[in-house]
Amino acid sequence: MSVFKRFATAISIGTGLFFLVRFLETSIGTNRLINVLLEEAAKLFLFLLLELAYRYRVSPLSDPSTFTPFPRPRLLALPILCITAFAVTENITYFLRFPESSIYQRLLYSYPIHLNTALLYAMAFVSAKKLFYLLTLVVSWSYHIGLNALSLVLPPAGIYTVGAGNLLLFFVLYWNIHDRSNKRSIEECWNPR
């Protein structure tokens, strides 16, 4: 799959997933706790689908010239890009509904929440431990709902401070994934499945 096709696929899936979640939230008439759970479950679902495709060697996950599966860490780009598209769509729809300068606070505060939870799910995928998926869902939901609640009581300076902390957490998670992915790639190189 070319880079352009992968990028277009990720945007389509992420945007579609956002509108599906919004449709479910409005149809069911849920509260904030359930809304965040739906969002996080939808994002985790992308990684669970990837896990199934990897396990059953679905064709896009293998090199067509050799019919060997790609190393697990190499597959992370698509679901992470989907979640990035999900977050971009959420922020665009928020801005269209509330076109004011508070979007800058929202971008710094909420956008990294989605990226950080994506990286937590990526860590679960790289680890290949089933129980880790459930743990990351609980941690991601708690982190997301906690920061949503905190955003309602923080002054603007507090929102920017927490937003900067979210960005710092993003870089810590990214480097953790990078290290785990390298170790996992080396293991899979020497011990192909």
- Amino acid 72: pLDDT: 58
- Amino acid 99: pLDDT: 83
- For residue 184, which of 125, 121, 118, 120 has the smallest C-alpha distance? 125
Q: What pTM was computed for the model?
A: 0.81
- Amino acid 29: pLDDT: 83
Per-residue pLDDT of the chain (193 residues; tens, 9 = 90+): 577 887 888 899 999 999 999 999 999 887 888 999 999 999 999 888 888 877 776 655 455 555 455 555 567 788 899 999 999 999 899 888 888 877 777 788 888 999 999 999 988 888 877 788 889 989 999 999 999 888 889 898 888 899 899 999 999 999 888 787 777 666 655 565 5
